[in-house]
Structure 1
């Protein structure tokens, strides 16, 4: 763990009893990330996708400014030599991912979104193999293949033959691209500047806010923008304060407590919480092909993670 990587002071100031509860924090984190798919579907007709993308990072940046201003003020100069890298990371992992995420919600279900999002750990493994020549065993490749098969099942609605006829759902395609962008962001974290993680997060969130502006302008120019409804503003606050800010901070803190390898295992809860919340909150039907896809994705992730080298 890098020096100062934990968002020191946030938990001791607001929720001191949570300071050392890594597993509670990780369950909370993944529950909120799963709920983000539900929020994306609830936002349809309440707030336009690019407005939601832009507004969530405004809210997140304000929260970071209030809660981490001392660390940001202390370390921001150390980020200047890496401004190009930070710009790319914020654009890919935050703006690009979320813009596609919320646009996808207009065309596909929260269940599909959550299951496809759950493939990110295996996409990271695949990216490590392709771009960093990371040594990957045969069983890990089996895990990758199973996970990719899960994507095919979801994107085809349980009828893979439709893909040959280009009979796919554009929302699922956008979600697959979004997951690839976030996997690229996760791979890029290997080169993160040597500053506290909360400071790097604040910098990338600021970039995400700025890069979202042209997307919002384009949405307005195309006539797709509308003023958010009261429910839309409530969703902006929700995704800005919880999926964008609080869950990122809790994940950073938990990684500082138990290490990235052990914390990363909890990401497998996202494709479980997401569909569960979609059924409970939205009343979405859980079809047989969803269960098959979820089994393939989770099974693939399990094989890929347990058959590789383990560490803290």
Structure 2
């Protein structure tokens, strides 16, 4: 007698996934943590500007198919905000990504993840500077503790390195990228009142157009080269996971449990990223890395302590 195991239909599995915000957020943070590892794997396999440009071209094509009708329907609401959309796509997506890929040429994936991990603290600071949203005392303390972790990472655990101003170029680039994305996150408060998928499609298109400028510079400078087969694999991962699925998953999770509670899960990103860097790239997790992780995550925990759920 043969026994056949019942197979759950794919749509039921998808429905279950999309109704579980915690699984969506864990998967999202794993994709974002893996992004820094792939950026290191991409060095010498695909040029930074072409990786940035091609990823957003792929995402724009997919999103145009998914929500092209919605984009046309909501065009009257988007048209007056084209300057805002162009700025958000250029800085938050194109600017952040190309700085990430440049930084990967001169720093480790572990460093990238730890510095990126301070982003919630930078967002708190940005909200205060732009909108006058005053952090509570614990949030100020949390920001300072998290930034201490970033400084410790940049100094490689050696105060003399910091005092001699010999901080790694890649660490500086990823810090600038983190500031750019934090600014993008703060300014999302002023986004047009259109569905999230439509807004994301518009941003992806803006990012694809903005990426043509650094791509042109890269070509003129003679630094462009066709991707190797490994470079194409990196592109596929970056386009489908950090650029597309993770964004859709995060949007859905925010719809289910709110932005405040969903934002807490960003604390997992440096943990995933550092773990992947050790397991996949064989990078060394030094004692100062562990101390920096504790400072970054501990600072965010302080900043989020007793914060009202979103």
TM-score class, shorter-chain normalisation, is over 0.9
2:247 matched residue in structure 1: 248
Query: For residues 207 and 13 of structure 2, what CA distance do their matches in structure 1 show?
Result: 26
Instruction: State the 1:140 CA deviation.
Output: 1.2
Structure 1 residue 71, shift from structure 2 partner: 2.3
Q: Is 1:75 matched with 2:74?
A: yes
Distance in 2 (CA, whole Å) between partners of 1:94 and 1:252 is 16
Q: Which secondary structure state, in structure 2, belongs to the residue aligned with residue 111 of structure 1?
A: helix
Whether 2:28 is the aligned partner of 1:26: answer: no
Match of 1:36 in 2: 35
Q: CA deviation at 1:132?
A: 1.5
Counterpart-to-counterpart distance in 2, 1:193 and 1:203: 11
Bigger Cα Rg: 2
TM-score (norm 1): 0.94
Aligned residues of 2:111 and 2:153 also touching (Cα < 8 A)? yes
Deviations 1:60-97 (A, max 9, x none): 11121222233223223320010011111111100100
Q: How does 1:126-145 map to 2 (within 5 A)?
A: 126-145=125-144
Q: Does 1:311 align with 2:303?
A: no
RMSD: 1.4
- Answer whether contact 1:63 1:241 (CA < 8 A) is retained: no
Aligned partners of 2:138 and 2:305 also within 8 Å: no
After TM superposition, the structure 1 stretch with the greater mean CA deviation from structure 2, 12-21 or 46-55, is 12-21
Which residue of structure 1 lines up, in the alignment, with residue 236 of structure 2?
237
Does residue 208 of structure 2 align to residue 198 of structure 1?
A: no
Aligned positions of 1:1-312 closer than 5 A: 15-307=14-306, 309-312=307-310
Deviant stretches of 4+, over 3 Å: 11-14
Structure 2 unaligned residues grouped into runs of 5+? 1-9
SS of match in other structure, 1:15: helix
Aligned partners of 1:58 and 1:65: how far apart in 2?
10
2:237, 2:62 → 1: CA distance? 12
Listed one character per residue, the Cα deviations across residues 190-243 of structure 1 (whole Å, up to 9, x for unaligned) are: 000000111111111111101110101111111211110011011111101110
TM-score (norm 2): 0.94
| More moved, 130-139 vs 180-189 | 130-139
CA distance in 2, matches of 1:237, 1:164: 41
Q: CA deviation at 1:131?
A: 2.0
The CA deviation at 1:160 is 2.6
The 3-state SS of whatever aligns with 2:192 is coil
**Structure 2 CA distance, aligned partners of 1:108 and 1:36?**
14
Structure 1 gap segments, 5+ residues each = 1-10
